Amino acid sequence: MHNFWLITPIILVLGIALYFIWAFNKQKKHYETKKEIMKSGDRGEYKVQAVLRTLQKSNSRYRVYHNIKLGPDPEHTNEYDTVIVGPNGIFHIETKNYGGERGGIIDIDSRQNWILHKKNGYSKIIANPVGQVDSHEYRLKGFLKKVVGVRNVPTQGIIVLSCDKIKLRVNKDLGSSVPILTRHELVPYIRNYRQGKVTLYPRTIKKICQRIEDMNSTAQAR
């Protein structure tokens, strides 16, 4: 019995040490997974930025902004992957690199659930990005109305799947105001986009772009 009480503190200390080692490794794994997801997202955004360079030529009528913050005021902003201002409207793009480099399949069912099937056979439900795009649309409308002082400007949110090896399967009955495009479909979609007969004149585009740059500078500095 005497030996038992001598050993008990050692066992207790050892148990506590093993717990902290387990917790540390778990936290490290979580951090590394999160870091890898962020890297994957960055790679996806770089791919989309590459195809948009054609809209950034000196003679282009479009202005392209990446990773900016916009909203009705500096305290209430959303961060946008990409915003494009052109004569036929303003486009805000949410880039998703689902499937990473290997790809896979995304099923969207009649309840608008997104299910990602990876190449290794693993499947999981992923967050529907349409809600994120709708939030961006709301903030952008507030920005145009309260900061720029313009109304009735055509705006369009777009989801871009940057992985070239991802396949999209959508339920036929599903209707959505947010198009889901591959990165190679993006530029033709923007150039051919028409919402009524509204055209933004160069002076209006210049005003909107100036307010975007001012708002982003203020919001990023906070």
Q: What is the pLDDT of residues 82-134, one digit of tens each?
A: 999 999 999 999 999 998 778 899 999 888 899 999 888 889 999 999 999 99
Query: pLDDT at residue 172 above 90?
Result: no
DSSP letter for 17, please.
Answer: H
Tokens 């689902």 sit on residue: 98
DSSP code string of 164-206: TTEEEEE-TT---SS-EEEHHHHHHHHHH--STT----HHHHH
pTM above 0.85, yes or no: no
Instruction: State the distance between the two ends of the chain, measured CA to CA, in whole angstroms.
Output: 64
Residue 204, φ and ψ in degrees, nearest 5: -70, -40
